[in-house]
Structure 1
């Protein structure tokens, strides 16, 4: 008997992935000179290098080329959505606060659940809807005292940030729709290439120091490329709303790393809201109600 079921291993992967995503803020605080567009370019480039290297190691050049060519329309759509997320997240941070960006991103589970019901005809368990609502309340409470006024520059930033949860929801549905027969890890490579290519036109003149390149390489490899690959693997055994809910750990852990690595002490609202989010995630996974059949990939 295996120590962990496929579903449990997938949950573990979806805990590791947002944990790695959440280090972006604290690492970028230590950059010397690299700015928004340039950060996005280098992070995406290094992500592409990491994913390409992993695919080459696993499949060889011919195998990787064949896999990329076999992606099909859903694979290209997934790559485009990855690119939108990579770009809009960083651009939004240059136009508004981290709190504003994260609170906009927190609607992703709701959008994902709606699209899963509408397109995939998945039955969403009542406990999942409850967990989504509780998590949204918890995140809202986390940032209730740090939300900036919605106006001017901040409104533009929040509008840009709104593309992230939409792209995330569409991406999750595309991955689920593709099913077991299509390997969508190369779509992460496409997303990295699309993002780096788009940013190349607006990132110059480059001002990145070797110190910054080391940080951005770390982000590209371990904060972007690796966790995105882990999420695609986890999707084989989790429902789209489930993945989207677990991804909220990024929002929860980001302030924690900023506290530990940059000296930003979290407010009491952050601690209370974070506890609500954790409780919602645990409840959704451990509730005794029978898991709906649609929670596994068809």
Structure 2
């Protein structure tokens, strides 16, 4: 399936809205906490993907998984770290703090690609990294002073794992071996569930808790992750990065409306700096690409040569 550009944008907005429901749903739970919360969401995500993947890619998906090599399992390990750190972070700090920390993903990806793949970073990206770092420091400054640094470190594991994951995927694409990302999400969900089950035992989730967590596994993770793969066929990586930032806005608003969790001014101020840095970086990148594509064609129809 390949969507038109407008359809892909609309679908990606829906994907970010679905992703953003984790925080407000986590605040509705009665008895499931910490590792048990993470276990159930990962388990329901794995179950959903076991059902969805054959419908989407056919029964041959299982054979292709075993032939994918080590990258599938490395990528799955990264997904497991993201799933686990995200839900644990929600039990340690506010929804707004977690989501703003996740927004650092594009910048961390650029930084790790520079370190691991030798990609050259333009000045605008270095500037965005500096501004976003200042914003995060402003948000968490008071918490560090009071010893509340645990939630920060756990939440930071999500964009860091994501950055490593996408860098590995990009390296294999450059080598002509593009991986199938959807089965890696399944591997990550299974690994996360297996890892957190011993830590979550004995399980104490109530019936309503299980219903909420089943909804998270299917509607907040499994389905939107598959839909995002469809969007990636019609949208560029910068467009997806920009649209994904809507998760921060949607998540904060939903936590405010659904759980009465209004972010303090310090979080809003630092978050504005982080998001502003990301938006400015992507806008400048877009303008740079637009200038590159608007080169004037000579009379013979060939593209004008770029200056050395």
The 3 A distance-change label for structure 1 pair 291 and 29 is same
Aligned length: 285
Which residue of 250, 253, 258 corresponds with 2:250? 253
* Aligned counterpart, 1:288: 287
Contact 1:109 1:245 in 2 (8 A): no
After superposition, the C-alpha distances for 1:170-197 in whole angstroms (9 at most, x for unaligned) are 1111232333742121000000000111
Mapping 1:49-64, distance limit 5 Å: 49-61=47-59, 63-64=60-61
Mean Cα displacement is larger for which, 114-123 or 42-51?
A: 114-123
- Partners of 1:92 and 1:161 within 8 A in 2: yes
**Cα deviation digits, residues 58-84 of structure 1 (max 9, x gap):** 2333x1212211322222111000000
Corresponding position: 1:215 with 2:215: no
Q: TM-score, normalised by structure 2?
A: 0.76
CA deviations 1:11-59 (Å, max 9, x no partner) are 5555443332221111111111111111111100111122221111123
User: Aligned pair 1:109/2:106, yes or no?
Assistant: yes
**Native 8 Å contact 1:88 1:164 kept in 2:** yes
1:184 to 181, 184, 187: 181
Separation in structure 2 between the aligned mates of residue 137 and residue 9 of structure 1, nearest angstrom: 36
Cα pair 1:112 1:244 within 8 Å, conserved = no
Q: Secondary structure of the equivalent of 1:119?
A: helix
Aligned CA-pair RMSD: 3.5
Q: Deviations over 1:196-219 (max 9, x none)?
A: 111111212111122111111111
Say if 2:107 and 2:128, in contact at 8 Å, map to a contact too: no
Residues 91 and 3 (structure 1 numbering): CA distance in 2 closer, same or farther, change over 3 Å? closer
2:32 alignment partner in structure 1: 34
Decide whether aligned partners of structure 1 residues 96 and 166 sit closer, same or farther in structure 2, where only a CA change above 3 A counts.
same
The residue matched to 1:207 in structure 2 has which SS? coil
Q: Distance in 2 between matches of 1:270 and 1:290?
A: 33
TM-score (norm 1): 0.78
Counterparts of residues 113-262 of structure 1 (less than 5 Å): 113-124=110-121, 127=124, 143=139, 148-150=143-145, 152=147, 154-179=148-173, 181-235=178-232, 238-239=236-237, 243=240, 246-262=243-259
1:285 and 1:113 mapped to 2: Cα distance? 15
Q: Which runs of 5+ in 2 are unaligned?
A: 293-308
Larger Rg: 2
Structure 1 residues 21, 79: CA separation in 2 closer, same or farther (over 3 Å shift)?
same
Q: Deviations over 1:254-282 (max 9, x none)?
A: 22111121233455566666666666565
Hey, what's the Cα distance between the residues in 2 that align with 1:291 and 1:205? 56
Judged with a 3 Å threshold, the aligned counterparts in structure 2 of structure 1 residues 117 and 17 are, in CA distance, closer, same or farther, namely farther
